[in-house]
Amino acid sequence: MTATVPDQDIHASLSGVTRIYPAAAGTRAVHALGEVDLDLKRGEFFAVVGPSGCGKSTLLEVLAGLQRPTAGTVTFEGRPVTGKVPDGIGVVFQEDASFPWLTVWDNAAFGLRRNGVADAEIRRRVDDALAFMGLTDFARAYPAQLSGGMRQRVCISRTLVLQPRLILLDEPFGALDAQTRLLMGDEVLRLWRRTGATILLITHALDEAAMLSDRIGAMSARPGRFLDIVVTGWPRERDSKIVSEAAFGEVTGRLWENLRGESMKSLGYSGMPAE
């Protein structure tokens, strides 16, 4: 199952990508991902859903250049991605990556400072990003004083100020409660429209993927491969109220059809139980 698209639109792509974690002391080799083909259209919102352990995070890290594929090629803006994270890609991780020894403001400014951007410009971008993420009042606070959701917004701010053209989000709302997640979903959509970036969101929440994305890739259990690509056809100006539309139910239904069996596999069921 491939997700290919006409050439001039392609922002990033994975072609024939496989990732096998080599055997280490005491563990066998793990075939985590592959084979995967994926073309990301410039400016689209693409979500990847699948059961735990199917290789979604691996896919994200390979795309970002944090890991090298065992086979296949990765390209970003026409150039191959090898070993280093290319300029223009921003990543928001699952775990809390905020630096506890810096204030919220300094956390956001961190990437800019290292890259020799002028002070006035840094101040402008950071203030802007914090305002956009609703963190202005907490600029002088330390991450330890904030909730999990706010810390994630700090990490997003840190990525935002670098004005990335491709933003990868690895289950950024995993640790949050359901209501907060829905609200954060709206925020990600705002982010997407504001920056015009291409977004790849990894999530295990079907409704989240269905609500936010232009296209959704349903991934099989390990080793992860795309079982289906669902096109939602939502308008660009959307928000969480979409969940009340009939089409939403169809999208989630179709995703679950693909994924139910895979999820049971990853939970350790060897066959489908009798009804």
Partner 1 sequence: MIATERAADTLMILIVLLLAWQALHQVVGATALPGPVPTLAYLAKLVPSERFAENAWATLVCFFYALMLSYGIGLAIGVWMGVHRLSGAVGEPILISLYTLPKVTLYPVVLLIFGLSLSGRVTFGAMHGVLPVALLTMSAIRNIPPVYLKSAQTLQLSRWQTILTVLFPATLPEVIAGLRIGFSLTLLGVLLAEMFAAKHGLGSLIINAMQLLQAEEMITIAVVLFAFAALANALLLWIEHQLHRRV
Any contact of residue 162 with partner 1 (CB under 8 A)? yes
Q: If you count DSSP H runs as helices and E runs as strands, how many of each does the chain have, helices first?
A: 7, 10
Residue whose CB is less far from partner 1, 40 or 211: 40
Task: Yes or no: say if 74 and 17 are a contact pair by the CB < 8 Å rule.
Answer: yes
Any contact of residue 121 with partner 1 (CB under 8 A)? no
Exactly one of 111, 148, 174, 261 binds partner 1 (CB under 8 A); that residue is 111
Least distance in Å: CB of 235 to partner 1? 31
Task: Write down how long the chain is.
Answer: 275
Any contact of residue 110 with partner 1 (CB under 8 A)? yes
Any contact of residue 95 with partner 1 (CB under 8 A)? yes
**4-12, 27-35, 69-77, 157-165 -> range binding partner 1 (CB under 8 A):** 157-165
What phi and psi, each to the nearest 5 degrees, are found at residue 138? -110, 15
Least distance in Å: CB of 110 to partner 1? 7
Go through 38-63 and write b for each residue having 16 or more CB atoms within 10 A of its CB, e for each that does not: bbbbbbbbbbbbbbebbbbbbbbbbb
Beta carbons within 8 Å of 85's beta carbon, 6+ residues apart = 64, 65, 66, 91
Go through 112-126 and write b for each residue having 16 or more CB atoms within 10 A of its CB, e for each that does not: beeeebeeeebeebb
Task: Yes or no: say if 50 and 218 are a contact pair by the CB < 8 Å rule.
Answer: yes
Any contact of residue 114 with partner 1 (CB under 8 A)? yes
**15-23, 111-119, 207-215, 233-241 -> range binding partner 1 (CB under 8 A):** 111-119
Least distance in Å: CB of 114 to partner 1? 5
Any contact of residue 274 with partner 1 (CB under 8 A)? no
Any contact of residue 122 with partner 1 (CB under 8 A)? no
Any contact of residue 66 with partner 1 (CB under 8 A)? yes
Any contact of residue 163 with partner 1 (CB under 8 A)? no
| Binding residues for partner 1 restricted to 204-223, rule: CB under 8 A | none
Any contact of residue 125 with partner 1 (CB under 8 A)? no
Whole-number Å distance between alpha carbons of 220 and 55:
9
CB count, 10 Å around CB of 225? 20
Name beta bridge partners: 89: 166
Task: Yes or no: say if 88 and 109 are a contact pair by the CB < 8 Å rule.
Answer: no
**82-90, 186-194, 198-206, 247-255 -> range binding partner 1 (CB under 8 A):** 82-90
Any contact of residue 64 with partner 1 (CB under 8 A)? yes
Whole-number Å distance between alpha carbons of 85 and 236:
29
Residue whose CB is less far from partner 1, 139 or 264: 139
The site for partner 1 (CB under 8 A) is made up of 61, 64-66, 84-85, 87, 89-91, 93-97, 99-102, 110-111, 114-115, 142-144, 155, 158-159, 162
